[in-house]
Amino acid sequence: MTKAPVPLNERPRSGPYSGLNANSARRFLTKQFEQAGLEDCEVEALDLVMAATGLSRTELITQGTEFVSPEAFDVLQDYSTRRLSGEPVDHILGWRDFFGRRFAVNSDVLSPRQETEEVLAKGLEMIAEIAAPKVLDLGTGSGAIIVTILCEHENAIGTATDISNKALSIAGENARGHCVANRLSLLKSDWFSHVSGRYDLIISNPPYIDSRAMGLLPNEVAKFDPALALHGGEDGLDPYRLIAARAQDYLVPNGALVLEIGFDQGNAVTALLTKNRWREVQLFHDIFGQHRIMAARSPS
């Protein structure tokens, strides 16, 4: 059995006495995280050490054997305690990379997930031929979807809604950070309640976890992600029911709808769209082979 590493808060704090340089700090955190049963331990340890020491990946190679400063040591100690108590690494760092760009995140928003990159890619594909598409992102959270669309399609015009003011504030920060705020309207809205106009694409990753699964969420999600971003009602389908029934009123003729769905919701969401006369209803796999992406065209 491997011996548990000595926790950082039981080590001497300063310089050489801490016995830590950036490389050994990285190995140390990795081991601690592995022993705590966390995933992606090496990547998380690397990100946390880079953030605490201010060293880039390259500098870690050239300066990784220099001792960690007392200040960086304190920061690392704080990061390690928080991560081991279940706080997601994105919240500790304050950012998450999404589709090659860095987005500010905090406990008010869901950190954008890898599968959402594929939803976004499908949305981009559906507006690729339109010179200046109008795009509506429902439940924008960090704004990762709409901000990326505006970055990737330089003539696109976006509207992003959320029911959470705090989420809208982060989305605004990300839009400014990526220089697209001049093409984005942020709207506090309960789904379509304050939306007007017609769009070429409506895209959404709504909350889709059902009530039973909400009670079984891992601590890391249950404690640190906003419930508002997760719970989709008793059967997890409430937002899809509403979107399937109403989105067509906000689309141009032949407008596109792209939705992220839970891995087991493909049949149910297909049925909702078909019942509401959507055309070209299609279900796509993500890279893990799960049905996570739905696309459709507005009813004629």
Cβ proximity to ligand SAM, 40 vs 190, nearer residue: 190
- What HEC string does 14-68 produce? CHHHHCCEHHHHHHHHHHHHHHCCCCCHHHHHHHHHHHHHCCCHHHHHHHCCCEC
Cβ proximity to ligand SAM, 153 vs 231, nearer residue: 231
Cβ proximity to ligand SAM, 73 vs 103, nearer residue: 103
Cβ proximity to ligand SAM, 166 vs 198, nearer residue: 166
Q: How far is the CB of 176 from ligand SAM (least distance, A)?
A: 18
Q: How far is the CB of 190 from ligand SAM (least distance, A)?
A: 4
Q: What is the DSSP string of 243-284?
A: HHHHGGGGEEEEEEEEEE--TT-HHHHHHHHHHTT-EEEEEE
Q: How far is the CB of 90 from ligand SAM (least distance, A)?
A: 11
The amino acid sitting at 136 is: L
Give me 159's structure tokens.
């509207």
Q: How far is the CB of 123 from ligand SAM (least distance, A)?
A: 11
Helices 41-53 & 22-35 angle (0-180, nearest 10) = 140
Helix, strand or coil, per DSSP, at residue 241: helix
List of residues contacting ligand SAM (CB under 6 A): 109-110, 112, 116, 139-142, 144-145, 161-164, 167, 190-191, 205-207, 228-229
Cβ proximity to ligand SAM, 167 vs 184, nearer residue: 167
Q: What is d(CA 8, CA 37) in angstroms, rounded to the nearest whole number?
A: 18
Q: How far is the CB of 8 from ligand SAM (least distance, A)?
A: 32
